[in-house]
Amino acid sequence: MNQYSFEKLNIWNNIRDLVKEVYLISKDFPDSEKFGLTNQIRRAIVSVSSNIAEGTSRTSYKDQAHFSQIAYSSLMEVLSQLIVSYDLNYINRERLERVRLKIDNLAPRISSLRNSQLARCK
């Protein structure tokens, strides 16, 4: 089976782990959030991995950087939604801190990826 370029990226595989964790966390949200916060946070976290994958398929470094920027923005959206989930008592502090550590690790790596893509544009 062919392995695509995004599948070879450590960052994409780390994001996959975060996707699983966010899905497990949001599984415990109240049923009343099924079409609200649960749906929104899941869409945002999948967007992170999807935009990294889509960016790798682009032939111009400028386009690649654009998708990396979207991935970074979606990651920040997930963090915001997790903080709101904590404020609403849907998750505890320990869970928030554990996921935030992963986000804190991924954010600068996505930013570095974007910066290296932009540097190749010149």
Report whether pLDDT(122) > 90.
no
> What is the Cα Rg of the chain in Å?
15
Taking only the tens place, the pLDDT of each residue in 37-49 is 999 999 999 999 9
Q: What's the pLDDT band for 121 if we cut at 50, 70, 90?
A: confident
Cβ neighbours, 10 Å, residue 26: 22
The architecture of the domain spanning 5-119 is: Up-down Bundle (1.20)
How confident is the prediction for the chain on average, in pLDDT? 96
Q: Is 6 helix (H, G, I), strand (E, B) or coil?
A: helix
- Tell me the helices (H) and strands (E) count for the chain, helix number first: 4, 0
Taking only the tens place, the pLDDT of each residue in 8-20 is 999 999 999 999 9
Task: Please indicate, yes or no, whether the overall pTM of this predicted structure exceeds 0.75.
Answer: yes
